[in-house]
Structure 1
Amino acid sequence: MIQFERIHHVSLAVRDLDKARAFYSDILKFREIPRPPFQSKGIWYEVGDQQLHLLEHPISDTLRERGIDTTDGHFSIWVKSYSETKAWLDRMGVEYVASPDSVAGFAQIFVLDPDRNIIEFGAEYGS
């Protein structure tokens, strides 16, 4: 039997690493961490105890073309405050779909990165 401890990282394909860095580093304020010298281009971020790995694929059939669909594949980050996260996204001009009273049992905000990868921010109700 596999004894799971935690998710280590999520990897996402991006078309333009500079655009992705501007979004994840400058807008979302993720902290970039060192990345081994792979032959491929990418950026690694620390997100709590886990990591997000962005991998540049200028031509990729795996990237989405549509808008936010909360039933599509995505990754979720738990945040301390729903209202502060929503206010930050407003200030930064990031479009989102918000569900403050989601049937999920917690508040949800969904956004798209520049390559249309879906990111969910989850928080306690009323936070």
Structure 2
Amino acid sequence: MKILDLHHVSLAVNDVEEAKNFYGTLLGFPELKRPDFDFPGAWYQVGNSQLHLIENRQAETLRYKDNIDSRDGHFAIRVVDYYQTVEFLESKGIEIIQKPHSKSGFAQIFCMDPSNNLIEFNVDQKDLTEKE
């Protein structure tokens, strides 16, 4: 097997309209045309990959905790500038946890979508520029 790339991540959400507001309006991810499935959802472009949202209130992958716990399952998005991303997320009123000196080697920012799915935004720590 020869891997080319990660194509998409699929997440269950409680309310697709609420999720679309978070990912499309707040985060500004470009929405993609989605096939006419017989269930609600939305697709977004995230760099070279895609995010597929599926409304499914009975999904076994939904988190019911309403706190940000970086040890729970999540997907990560590489960003260009750590502090610009912090400022952007805070300007949208999104609760975050910052871990600029994580043992992982990544400067990490964690947040949750309205269905409590965890998202990590990161840069390589060697690319972390001190906030002026």
Please state which band the TM-score falls in when normalised by the shorter chain. Answer: over 0.9
Structure-1 residue corresponding to 2:21 = 22
Q: How many residue pairs were aligned?
A: 126
CA drift at 1:5: 1.0
Greater shift, 72-81 or 52-61, is seen at: 52-61
Deviations along 1:45-67, whole A, 9 cap, x unmatched? 00111000000113334310111
Contact 1:82 1:124 in 2 (8 A): no
CA drift at 1:32: 0.2
Deviations along 1:50-85, whole A, 9 cap, x unmatched? 000000113334310111111111100000010000
Identity of aligned residues (%): 45
Contact 1:19 1:114 in 2 (8 A): yes
Structure-2 residue corresponding to 1:44 = 43
Structure-2 residue corresponding to 1:62 = 61
Structure-1 residue corresponding to 2:86 = 86
Structure-2 residue corresponding to 1:119 = 119
Calculate the TM-score normalised by the size of structure 1: 0.94
Contact 1:99 1:109 in 2 (8 A): yes
Partner Cα separation in structure 1 for residue 21 and residue 4 of structure 2: 32
Letter in 1 for 2:103: V
Structure-1 residue corresponding to 2:73 = 73
Letter in 2 for 1:88: F
Any stretches of 5+ residues in structure 2 without a counterpart?
A: none
Greater shift, 34-43 or 52-61, is seen at: 52-61
Contact 1:40 1:55 in 2 (8 A): yes
Contact 1:75 1:119 in 2 (8 A): yes
Any stretches of 5+ residues in structure 1 without a counterpart?
A: none
Structure 1's consecutive aligned runs of 4 or more residues displaced over 6 angstroms after TM superposition are: none
Partner Cα separation in structure 1 for residue 85 and residue 2 of structure 2: 34
